[in-house]
């Protein structure tokens, strides 16, 4: 049983955390700069250890301005973990602006009061290049103390079964091995009887540029952007380019952001003009996928043209070494042919 002193300590901690929640309620932090309104909100300021709550980022994005949300992987701080995060959710308003939401499901396994630092948003537009931050939030986490002075007891005694796994395992393993041997014998006998090779020859893998060019041709033939499937068109296009770069240069960009991908590419891999083309492809795809941007027809076609150029300019050309032909010695003339020549 938990001691009286432990119960009193827990009650005091709960009261302090409740007072902390009342001081910070509601769990919303906002900031506003030149018409940009951003906010961060928690379901509640106080949770029990291991509980899960939602954290939501919201920004009112004016027309013609690009906003980059902060990127997290598996944690916000060392004490606050991310269980799940949803993609950006954009809603277009009547005045042409957007309301963009980003939702996280978070938890904490460390008791105490944890600070959530400001979230940073990057603003890019024709007349603006700035950052905007939210306010700092705090999250209280109630922990449960365990009375270590008390002895531990088993809930129930172990059940003694008459047959253990160690006794059954050798028989089961032997039976499985016998089945494998019989199947292999039958397989090789059938192939031998049908005059087939015992082992199938491995088909050599296609070069990365062959796969990439075929995929680009399929994207072009599908006419996705011409039929209104802008998001799918740019998503398929960037996937084809990323897969080619990963295979060609030994990278891992398929799950990376645009900034992470550009950081992984250097001028040793490709010319700076091709790097600029790659940046245009990825940034235009981000706008189409996350900000519901509608590129012009020429811009859609240009992204495909840039993708072709990246592959064609960086592919590994196969060279075939031709062996020189041996010069044949002139045949000896017979006596009759010598007489004719004379």
Band (160; pLDDT cuts 50, 70, 90): low
pLDDT tens digits along 33-83: 555 788 888 998 888 998 999 999 888 887 778 888 888 889 999 989 999
Q: State residue 23's pLDDT score.
A: 45
Q: Rounded to whole angstroms, how far apart are CA atoms 183 and 337?
A: 71
Contact 141, 111 (CB under 8 A): yes
Q: 328-342: per-residue pLDDT in tens?
A: 455 555 555 555 554
pLDDT at 249 over 60: yes
Q: Which residue has the tokens 């028989």?
A: 171
Q: What is the pLDDT of residue 223?
A: 92
* For the chain, percent of residues with pLDDT exceeding 70: 74
CA angle 138, 144, 149 (to 5 degrees): 145
Name the band, by pLDDT with cuts 50, 70 and 90, for residue 272: very high
Residue 25 has pLDDT above 50, yes or no: no
pLDDT of residue 96: 78
- What is the percent of the chain where pLDDT is above 90? 32
The contacts of residue 142 (CB under 8 Å, 6+ apart) are 13, 14, 17, 46, 47, 48, 49, 111
Radius of gyration over every alpha carbon of the chain, rounded to an integer in angstroms: 34
Cβ burial of 72 (10 Å; 0-12, 13-18, 19+) is: middle
User: Is pLDDT larger for residue 124 or for residue 4?
Assistant: 124
pLDDT, average across residues 237-248: 93
- Given the DSSP bridges, would you call strands 137-142 and 46-48 parallel, antiparallel or unpaired? parallel
Q: What is the per-residue pLDDT for 329?
A: 52
Query: Which pLDDT does position 210 carry in this prediction?
Result: 92
Residue 316 has pLDDT above 50, yes or no: yes
- Which residue spans within the chain are E strands per DSSP? 28-33, 36-42, 46-48, 52-61, 66-68, 81-85, 89-92, 98-107, 112-116, 120-124, 129-133, 137-142
What is the per-residue pLDDT across 103-126, written as a single tens digit (0 to 9) for each? 999 999 988 888 989 988 888 877
DSSP state of 227: G
Residue 263 pLDDT level (bands cut at 50, 70, 90): very high
- Is this prediction's pTM over 0.75? no
Predicted confidence at residue 320, as pLDDT, reads 46
What would the pLDDT profile of 173-199 be if each residue is shown by its tens digit? Answer: 888 899 999 988 888 888 777 766 666
pLDDT mean over 312-318: 83
What's the rounded Cα separation, in Å, for the pair 19 and 45? 11
- C-alpha 11/C-alpha 141 separation (Å) is 14
Provide mean pLDDT across the span 224-239: 92
Q: Would you say residue 90 has pLDDT above 80?
A: yes
Mean pLDDT for the stretch of residues 215-243: 92
Question: Any idea which architecture 4-142 has in CATH?
Answer: Sandwich (2.60)
Mean pLDDT of 257-282: 93
Predicted pLDDT of residue 2: 46
């Amino acid at each position: 049983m938990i001691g009286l002193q432990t119960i009193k300590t827990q009650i005091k901690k709960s009261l302090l955390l409740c007072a902390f929640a009342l001081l910070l309620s509601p769990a919303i932090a906002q900031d506003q700069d030149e018409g940009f309104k951003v906010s961060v909100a928690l379901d509640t300021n106080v949770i029990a250890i291991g509980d899960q709550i939602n954290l939501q980022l919201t920004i009112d994005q004016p027309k013609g301005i690009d906003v980059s949300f902060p990127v997290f992987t598996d944690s916000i701080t060392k004490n606050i973990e991310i269980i799940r995060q949803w993609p950006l959710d954009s809603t277009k308003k009547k005045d042409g602006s957007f309301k963009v939401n980003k939702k996280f499901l978070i938890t904490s396994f460390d008791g105490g009061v944890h600070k959530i630092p400001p979230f940073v948003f990057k603003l890019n537009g024709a007349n603006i290049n700035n950052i905007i931050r939210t306010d700092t939030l705090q999250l209280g986490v109630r922990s449960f103390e365990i009375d270590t002075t008390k002895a531990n007891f088993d809930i129930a005694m172990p059940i003694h079964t008459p047959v253990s796994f160690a006794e059954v395992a050798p028989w089961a393993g032997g039976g499985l091995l016998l089945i494998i041997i019989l199947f292999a014998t039958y397989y090789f006998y059938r192939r031998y009887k049908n005059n087939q090779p015992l082992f199938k020859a491995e088909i050599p893998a296609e070069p990365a540029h062959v796969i990439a060019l075929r995929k680009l041709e399929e994207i072009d033939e599908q006419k996705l952007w011409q039929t209104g499937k802008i998001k799918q068109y740019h998503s398929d296009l960037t996937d084809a380019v990323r897969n080619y770069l990963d295979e060609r240069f030994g990278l891992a960009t398929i799950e990376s952001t645009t900034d992470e991908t550009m950081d992984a590419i250097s001028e040793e891999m490709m010319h700076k003009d091709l790097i600029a083309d790659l940046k245009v492809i990825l940034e235009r795809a981000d706008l189409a996928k996350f900000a519901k941007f509608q590129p012009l027809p020429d811009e859609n076609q240009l992204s495909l043209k840039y993708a072709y150029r990246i592959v064609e300019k960086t592919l590994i050309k196969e060279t075939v070494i031709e062996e020189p032909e041996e010069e044949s010695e002139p045949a000896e003339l017979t006596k009759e042919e010598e007489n004719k020549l004379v």
